[in-house]
Chains A and B, each alone.
Chain A
């Protein structure tokens, strides 16, 4: 069973990692812990749902890909969700966080993010209702791999897509002007400003990248589970654990952190009762803060 738990852990870890990238950048560059970040996953998943529903209503685009449960609509839904969630994040930034940053300290923003999270979550509830929804009602059966490990074809796709997204982000951060400016700002905002970096612009990019990552994670998550207004809320602790484990501002740190969180959660059930599983991310947070507060990939400040 250990192999099965490992496989499950890697797959759920990939989603947590994707979602945590944005959180990690927000903590480093915007300098506050954004408790509403997980709600962006929820909104991403529901934006994906809107697109898929419209596409299905228009007759869809061809069938599904091979063993996967979906076809082109889902790929396009990923893009649509990323764009729409980015716009939502920019709106929140413009209406709330940017204004607050001018009048109060960063810890007040942490608290404001609590309020924003509540607003976003209940807005989903009001618009889409409390009933859970699936992208596709067809049940996908697991494929048996050597070692008696069972995985869903969709999950393999999900893992592959995560790797693609991380590579793309890596190239963006190291090759593009904006990406380099982002890294500079993360290192030292003042120095970056002096060197002519448009910090406001960088901040907007942080929101766009964070929201896009969250949206993609949300849609991929929605692929294997059902959509509910609490989809993101349930992931707050795993996301924070991943971001803190990896070290704020580290792309690979966030992804690796996600994998560690996913693996720990799934493997933990072999030694502790399943009902204590949600506490695992918290224990990881305490452990890393005690032994290596800058995270695995972070530098000591």
Chain B
């Protein structure tokens, strides 16, 4: 039973860590209608920033400042936010598709930088030995992981409550107004480009936070950690859980990560090792199908959008 508990804790750490990125994406897509196809890139920025700030000093590589864990998390959010502002300034005033293409491009480019800029990222060797705060606080992997899980749950709750407040605030209603009808919103004196940029930046910093939590947990960051398929996995989590709803975002992360790992587990039980190469492709097809079918049959996901009505709506 210890094994099951231990794995469950591990599973929840990863699922919730992804869940934070999904919430960031939800702010962008579910609430503002911004299509970010470069989630992997922002995760990477967060992960590397965290590693540079908190990791041990190394020869010939920048960083290794050995700063506290929390500084790493905050720094990751800031760095991802800065990158988001740069991309957003160029693309947010344009047609939606261009944002999709540009963010897809930035993720590819960030990965190239991660592989090639040795001085900053350790290049193909990556950065090793990133400290995990739970290792200092307790002995044994089970207790350490439980502490890290508590930390991730705490961060998730903070992000959840914070986002709920934000989307129910007047600013949050402006987001939805822009998503539904940009012209009407701007005629009411709202500056859509500015609000969209703010939402985009905030969402990307949450992705940076998620990347930092992942790297802090694993203790290593390398250029192959943030492949384009991660973007797809995060998106599927959002769509399955239901965009426009923060609870759905977390639930989606659990379900999709559960399906992904669960199917890997099932395949290893059922399929003979020599046939598993094909089943890897089948697994990807399975996720693709879940996604397309969800879009077709249940476009609102598991949990639909929260109906947020202003307290003053009845006054009108």
A positions within 8 Å CB-CB of B: 27, 32-33, 35, 96, 99-100, 103-108, 110-112, 114-116, 118-119, 121-123, 125-126, 130, 236-237, 240, 244, 273, 275-276, 278-279, 281-283, 285-286, 289-290, 293
Contacts and interface: CB of A to CB of B under 8 A. Distances in A.
Contacts of B106: 282
A238 to B, nearest CB: 10
A114 B232 contact: yes
Contact of B239 (A111, A240, A278): A111
Contacts of A32: 97
A16 B281 CA distance: 27
30 contacts: A27-B97, A33-B97, A96-B292, A103-B299, A104-B299, A107-B100, A112-B295, A115-B236, A116-B288, A118-B232, A118-B288, A119-B288, A119-B289, A119-B292, A122-B282, A122-B285, A126-B281, A236-B104, A237-B104, A237-B108, A240-B104, A279-B109, A279-B112, A282-B105, A285-B98, A285-B102, A289-B102, A290-B90, A293-B94, A293-B98
A54 B277 CA distance: 27
Contact of A276 (B35, B116, B232, B292): B116
Contacts of B291: 112, 114-115, 118
Contacts of B90: 286, 289-290
B33 interface: yes
Contact of A279 (B35, B94, B108, B239): B108
Contacts of A96: 292, 296
Contacts of B278: 126
Interface string B74-118: 000000000000000011001011101110111011001001100
B31 interface: no
Scoring A32, A107, A273 by chain B CB atoms within 10 A of each residue's CB, the highest score goes to: A107
Contacts of A100: 295-296
A150 to B, nearest CB: 28
Given A244-B101, A273-B116, A281-B105, A126 B35 contact: no
A125 B112 contact: no
B67 interface: no
Contacts of A236: 104
B235 interface: yes
Given A285-B105, A289-B94, A293-B94, A275 B116 contact: yes
Contacts of B281: 122, 125-126
B174 interface: no
A96 B108 CA distance: 27
A99 B296 CA distance: 7
B100 A278 contact: no
B234 to A, nearest CB: 11
Nearest to B91: A289
Given A118-B284, A118-B288, A282 B239 contact: no
A126 B289 CA distance: 15
A114 B103 CA distance: 14
Contacts of A289: 90-91, 94, 98, 102
* Secondary structure class of chain A's binding surface, majority of residues: helix
B235 A111 contact: yes
Contact of B112 (A99, A275, A290): A275
A264 to B, nearest CB: 14
Contact of B287 (A111, A118, A276): A118
Interface in B217-276: 232, 235-236, 239
B125 to A, nearest CB: 15
Interface in B170-199: none
Given A126-B281, A273-B116, A289-B90, A114 B37 contact: yes
Nearest to B231: A114
Nearest to B98: A289
A273 B115 CA distance: 12
A119 B101 CA distance: 20
A284 B132 CA distance: 40
Nearest to B93: A293
Contacts of A244: 98, 101
Nearest to A27: B97
B149 to A, nearest CB: 31
Given A115-B288, A286-B90, A278 B108 contact: yes
- Top 4 A-B pairs ranked by shortest CB distance? A282-B105, A33-B97, A115-B291, A119-B288
Contacts of B287: 118
A273 B287 CA distance: 36
A173 B29 CA distance: 37
Given A278-B109, A285-B105, 14 more contacts: A96-B292, A103-B296, A104-B295, A110-B97, A111-B235, A111-B295, A112-B291, A115-B289, A118-B232, A275-B112, A275-B115, A282-B106, A282-B108, A286-B105
A283 B105 CA distance: 8
Contacts of A275: 112, 115-116
Nearest to B239: A111
Contact of A110 (B91, B100, B102, B282): B100
A112 B299 contact: no
Contact of A237 (B29, B105, B289): B105
Nearest to A239: B101
